[in-house]
Structure 1
Amino acid sequence: MGRSRSRSRSSTRHRHKSKHKKHRSRSRSRDRAARRSRHRSRSRDRDRRSRKRSYSSSSSDSDLDVLAPTKVLEEKKKEDEEKQAEMERLRLERQKALEEKLIEEEVAKRVEELVAKRVAEELEKRKDEIEAEVLRRVEEAKRIMEKQMLEEMEKQRAAEVEAQKRKEEEERRKREELENIMKENNRKVEEAQRKLAEEQLKLVEEQRKMLEERQRLEDEQKQKVKKEQEVILNKKNARPRLSFSLGGK
């Protein structure tokens, strides 16, 4: 497998080198053609200037008037040739830029494919290692989760115990308050009952005294009446008795 990858990389590098060599060869050919074209254009310009100088030295003023249209045509032709050369140069530059862009895109594409292939190969080689790492992380996460759950349950139990303590304390406090209220109520009831009993006893005592006083008054009245009756009876018994005899003296 390693040999196949090395052969693939070697063949890829060889293709890249061959393509770059061809591209450089075509670029050099285009440069040489452009230089030859510019050289021919400059040679024609020099020839035309030389012919003009020789012709002007041997011709008269009348000949210049006759050759004026020819000069205009030559200048126009020269301008056309210069424009054509400039257009050719621009075309070659655009073609060169396009070829370079295509080469860059092809290189980037092949590099991307090579990187993707290398990544896939590395992932395949490290598949077991990755799976083991994933399992290790899963187990670690499970342990952490279990620990967190135990801590949460412990906190919940502690909170429940604390809540139960508070509830019991509250119930005890309420029970004590209720007992105190009941004690106070019982004390008040007992106090009220004691006062009521005392009042009832006092009332009974007063009634007894009133009855005794009434009985005493009744007894005194009876004694008085009895004494008066005795006085009356005694008076009756104290009268002299009259005796009458029918046989007389």
Structure 2
Amino acid sequence: MGRSRSRSRSSSRHGHRSKRKKNHSKSRSKSKERSSRQGRSSRMRSRSRDRKRPTARRRSFSSSSSDSDDDLILRAKKREEEEKKAEIERQRLLKQKELEEKLIEEEVARRVEALVKQRVEEELEKRRDEIEAEVLRRVEEAKRIMEKQMLEELEKQREAELEAQRLKEEEERKKREELEQIMVENNKKIEEAQRKLAEEQLKLVEEQRKILEEKQRMEEEEKRRSKKAQEIILNKKNARPSISFSLGSK
């Protein structure tokens, strides 16, 4: 499609350039003819001047010096005026030529532009179906590319979410493990404290038992002493009447 357009444009440009060259060659040939005509007319005027000069010289030789000086001045002024007029005419013709060439170039450019526009419209009209099919193909291709990009973006987003979820779960697992470790250490500390408390309680119970045993032993010892003392007292009491009785029997 692009190659056919470039070929049509290149062919149209080549045709326009050839037309421009033809128009320029025509304008150049016309300008050459005008310049040749002007050259011929100037040569004819110079020849007529040369023919008139001998008569003027003869008259100048026959006339006085003052008249010859006046004639020379007049001829010089006349020649200067003619040269000025010729220069003005040459400048006018040159400007007219430039203006004509400019108008020709503008007209050629306008016609070329109109022709190119017409050719482009005709080519587009001929290839409308092909262009529409190409446009639809490119649209479908762009849609496929966009869908692929969207799917890739969604996949990346899903992977990022899964990675974030995994990191979150990993962090929560670490926190749980840390909490469990702290709980284990706290349980160990509690068990150690409970063990120490139990040992202290056992010591206290043992001490209380020993105190009770010592108290019971002392009480039993006291009871035994008191019993022994009572037995001694009773024995003494029992011993006195027998003595008195024995004395009385005598």
TM range (shorter): 0.7 to 0.9
**Which of 51, 55, 75 does residue 55 from structure 2 map onto?**
51
Moved more, 87-96 or 29-38: 29-38
Name the CA distance, whole Å, in 2 between partners of 1:205 and 1:47. Answer: 171
CA shift, 1:244, in A, is 7.5
Bigger relative contact order, structure 1 or 2 (CA pairs below 8 A, ≥6 apart): 2
TM-superposition CA deviations, 1:29-81 (whole Å, max 9, x none): 64355234412431343134212332344x26xx2233432332122111111
SS at match of 1:241: helix
Provide closer, same or farther for how the CA distance between residues 195 and 24 of structure 1 changes in structure 2, counting only shifts above 3 A: closer
Provide closer, same or farther for how the CA distance between residues 30 and 174 of structure 1 changes in structure 2, counting only shifts above 3 A: same
Name the CA distance, whole Å, in 2 between partners of 1:91 and 1:36. Answer: 18
Provide closer, same or farther for how the CA distance between residues 76 and 202 of structure 1 changes in structure 2, counting only shifts above 3 A: same
Name the CA distance, whole Å, in 2 between partners of 1:188 and 1:30. Answer: 125
Q: Which amino acid aligns with 1:166?
A: L
Name the CA distance, whole Å, in 2 between partners of 1:70 and 1:106. Answer: 52
Unaligned runs of 5+ in 1: 1-11
Provide closer, same or farther for how the CA distance between residues 28 and 152 of structure 1 changes in structure 2, counting only shifts above 3 A: closer
1:144-163 equivalence runs, <5 A: 144-163=145-164
TM-superposition CA deviations, 1:139-181 (whole Å, max 9, x none): 1111111122222222222333333333333322322222222
Name the CA distance, whole Å, in 2 between partners of 1:18 and 1:217. Answer: 154
Higher helix share: 2
TM-superposition CA deviations, 1:214-240 (whole Å, max 9, x none): 111122122212222322332233233
Please give the TM-score of this superposition, normalised by the length of structure 2. 0.79
Q: Counterpart of 1:182?
A: 183
Q: Counterpart of 2:8?
A: none
Q: Does 1:198 align with 2:202?
A: no
Structure 1 vs Structure 2 CA RMSD? 3.1
CA shift, 1:124, in A, is 1.0
Name the CA distance, whole Å, in 1 between partners of 2:149 and 2:67. Answer: 110
Name the CA distance, whole Å, in 2 between partners of 1:172 and 1:68. Answer: 129
Name the CA distance, whole Å, in 1 between partners of 2:26 and 2:192. Answer: 127
CA shift, 1:112, in A, is 0.9
Q: Which amino acid aligns with 2:79?
A: K
SS at match of 2:244: coil
TM-superposition CA deviations, 1:111-151 (whole Å, max 9, x none): 11111111111111111111000000111111111122222
Q: Which amino acid aligns with 1:78?
A: R
Please give the TM-score of this superposition, normalised by the length of structure 1. 0.79
Q: Which amino acid aligns with 1:54?
A: R
Using the aligned pairs only, state the percent identity: 64
Moved more, 30-39 or 75-84: 30-39
Q: Counterpart of 1:113?
A: 114
Provide closer, same or farther for how the CA distance between residues 150 and 230 of structure 1 changes in structure 2, counting only shifts above 3 A: same
8 Å Cα contact 1:27-1:96 kept in structure 2: yes
CA shift, 1:17, in A, is 11
Name the CA distance, whole Å, in 2 between partners of 1:135 and 1:107. Answer: 38
The number of equivalent residue pairs is 229
Q: Counterpart of 1:241?
A: 244
Q: Counterpart of 1:38?
A: 42
1:16-165 equivalence runs, <5 A: 27=31, 30-31=34-35, 33-57=37-61, 59=62, 63-165=64-166
